[in-house]
Structure 1
Amino acid sequence: MVLGSARGKVYFYLLFLLVATFIGKTTASLGDHLPDFKECVKICQSENCQDGNTALPFHLRLLLWTCPAECDYTCQHVVTDRRVALCWTFSMLFHTRDFPLTEKLDYFGAGANVMYGLYLAVIRIFRLDQEDPRYKPTLRRLLTAVCLILYTLHVCYLSFWSWDYTYNMIANIVIGMTQNVLWTAWGIIRYRKTNRFWTVWPALIVVWIILAMSLELLDFAPWKGLIDAHSLWHLGTVIPAAWWYLFLVKDIQDDVTGIRLKT
């Protein structure tokens, strides 16, 4: 029994060492390593940062922004906008002409958008973007892996097992409602703590989205063959999308201000 226990420990340590060889230290998110992001930053700095911070507007220099930092921030939006645009491009193509390919791109793009929304909600609300405490980076990597695996299984099920419209709708509603609950709770809690109205915007946006989503669930025949519940659902998402962007800007500004006050 003692010999068997000793062998078990040896195998465990060997397995641990094998796994440890694949673990590397990281100081940046995956997005910082994207080739197009690094190329964007390189071009921006070479074209705008040769003479120090002279290319920056006065209000940015007043807030202690540097030219390299502004290039990094700008390129984050450039690279992210390209990927977000794909979701809406696929949706536009599908609604323009319904082919099997455009339908799949629309559904998979929408699913990726919804899953990323949940991923962002968990990262932001529980501050998994921070490096301290030390367990947060591990949780962030675990969350990333779980979301990627769930999305991959979702796509594989629809592609190779069954193109199930009911399942697809339920899956997106469950993921969407989960992030809605998270943002609503976060908004209410933050508003009670800070008494700043913009902190409750996520909860109000969620209410708007739920009302608009009811058009998807309570369908009706197209009015004069042109306007149906689905088209009105898309129309109803325009304002909350812009509103959500304004909230993200406010949240980032508040976060940056808090960090600078601490330093």
Structure 2
Amino acid sequence: MAERMARLLLLTVTVGLAWGSQGDREPVYRDCVLRCEERNCSGDALKHFRSLQPIYMSLAGWTCRDDCKYECMWVTVGLYLQEGHRVPQFHGKWPFSRFLFIQEPASAVASLLNGLASLVMLCRYRASVPASSPMYHTCMAFAWVSLNAWFWSTVFHTRDTDLTEKMDYFCASAVILHSIYLCCVRTVGLQHPSVASAFRALLLFLLTLHICYLSLIHFDYGYNMMANVAIGLVNLAWWMAWCLRNHRRLPHTRRCVIVVLLLQGLSLLELLDFPPLFWVLDAHAIWHISTIPVHVLFFRFLEDDSLYLLKESEAKIKLD
């Protein structure tokens, strides 16, 4: 539901400027990158580099300059550790040991597993809930939006570029907004479809403005964070209020409550920001891994709720 929001909420206290971290500001790192590029990234040396580069690296977009940054990052980390200093971040990220062409292996695999969990639950929902259920199409759309977000999260953690970063952030925002829309339809829209339609148009407009501002005017990390926190708080508060109001009449809402509470609790993992264990597993990857069962719980709630609504609508038809 709002896995990304929970992470964004706590990151507001720790977020830094991604374009400037302690490691990449170090003169030794900058000099290393400059000399590496001069030595390897032009003329015959560049041709030699390309001839030795594995095909999967070139297909993933890894350039000579990227390799220089990667190698010099580890040179700098080694010097820090020799002097007894804490491992620094580079360009807003901890140093990760690359696996094949995958930049952050644990987070990439965890994102993939989250996506697979979403896909499995989507298929289960479609198999168990008839299309005549009032919430069927809205829930299916939410499932596809979530699946798309986890796809881009996997791509981003595999290869961090301007495009993959933006797609990861924008798709995360889309998931949160669609969760708000899902809640609106469930709490208001079934009785007042015109209200849900107007609200959907408003959310699409806000998402368009958000994307246009970040893409065309200024990619402001702080603004993006605060915008997602704001809409995420609305999302969680709305779902929680509805669940608490209806928990006696609708016992299956307990799963939704558990999801909201789990997301808040699990997001505390993000406060445990530490250099990756074995240069692979950091707090963010652990958080991603921990959210996999959350998908199962939330889609089970959607499944139970959709079947309840279907039964209720069929009962009304019989009475009429």
- TM bucket (normalised to shorter chain) is 0.5 to 0.7
User: Is the counterpart of residue 155 in structure 1 residue 211 in structure 2?
Assistant: yes
TM-score by length of 2: 0.53
Q: CA deviation at 1:74?
A: 9.2
Residues 27-80 of structure 1, C-alpha deviation per residue, up to 9 Å, x if partnerless? xxxxxxxxxxxxxxxxxxxxxxxxxxxxxxxxx9xx9x7xxx68xx99988776
Alpha-carbon distance in 2 for matches of 1:222, 1:105? 24
After superposition, the Cα gap between the structure-2 partners of 1:216 and 1:138, relative to the gap in structure 1 and judged at 3 Å, is same
Q: 1:165 aligns with which of 221, 244, 264?
A: 221
After superposition, the Cα gap between the structure-2 partners of 1:192 and 1:215, relative to the gap in structure 1 and judged at 3 Å, is same
Q: 2:172 aligns with which of 110, 123, 126?
A: 110
Q: 2:195 aligns with which of 139, 163, 182?
A: 139
Q: CA deviation at 1:259?
A: 1.3
8 A contact 2:179–2:235 mirrored in 1: yes
TM-score by length of 1: 0.64
8 A contact 1:190–1:200 mirrored in 2: no
After superposition, the Cα gap between the structure-2 partners of 1:201 and 1:169, relative to the gap in structure 1 and judged at 3 Å, is same
**Deviation >6 Å, runs of 4+:** 73-80
| Higher relative contact order, structure no. (Cα contacts within 8 Å, ≥ 6 residues apart) | 2
- Amino acid in the other structure paired with 1:104: K
8 A contact 2:183–2:239 mirrored in 1: yes
Q: Secondary structure at the match of 1:114?
A: helix
8 A contact 1:185–1:203 mirrored in 2: no
Q: 1:204 aligns with which of 248, 251, 258?
A: 258
User: Structure 1 vs Structure 2: percent identity of aligned residues?
Assistant: 34
Alpha-carbon distance in 2 for matches of 1:74, 1:149? 24
Q: Secondary structure at the match of 2:303?
A: helix
RMSD between superposed Cα atoms in Å? 2.7
Determine the structure 2 residue equivalent to 1:261.
Answer: 315
Alpha-carbon distance in 2 for matches of 1:190, 1:82? 27
Q: Which runs of 5+ in 2 are unaligned?
A: 1-127
Q: CA deviation at 1:143?
A: 0.3
After superposition, the Cα gap between the structure-2 partners of 1:218 and 1:156, relative to the gap in structure 1 and judged at 3 Å, is farther
8 A contact 2:177–2:203 mirrored in 1: yes
Q: Which runs of 5+ in 1 are unaligned?
A: 1-59, 131-135
Alignment of 1:44-193 (within 5 A): 82-126=144-188, 128-130=189-191, 136-193=192-249
After superposition, the Cα gap between the structure-2 partners of 1:80 and 1:183, relative to the gap in structure 1 and judged at 3 Å, is closer
Q: CA deviation at 1:224?
A: 2.8
Alpha-carbon distance in 1 for matches of 2:255, 2:138? 24
Q: CA deviation at 1:230?
A: 1.0
- Amino acid in the other structure paired with 1:129: L
Q: CA deviation at 1:112?
A: 0.8
Alpha-carbon distance in 2 for matches of 1:79, 1:176? 19
Q: Number of paired residues?
A: 188
- Amino acid in the other structure paired with 2:281: I
Q: 1:244 aligns with which of 298, 302, 316?
A: 298
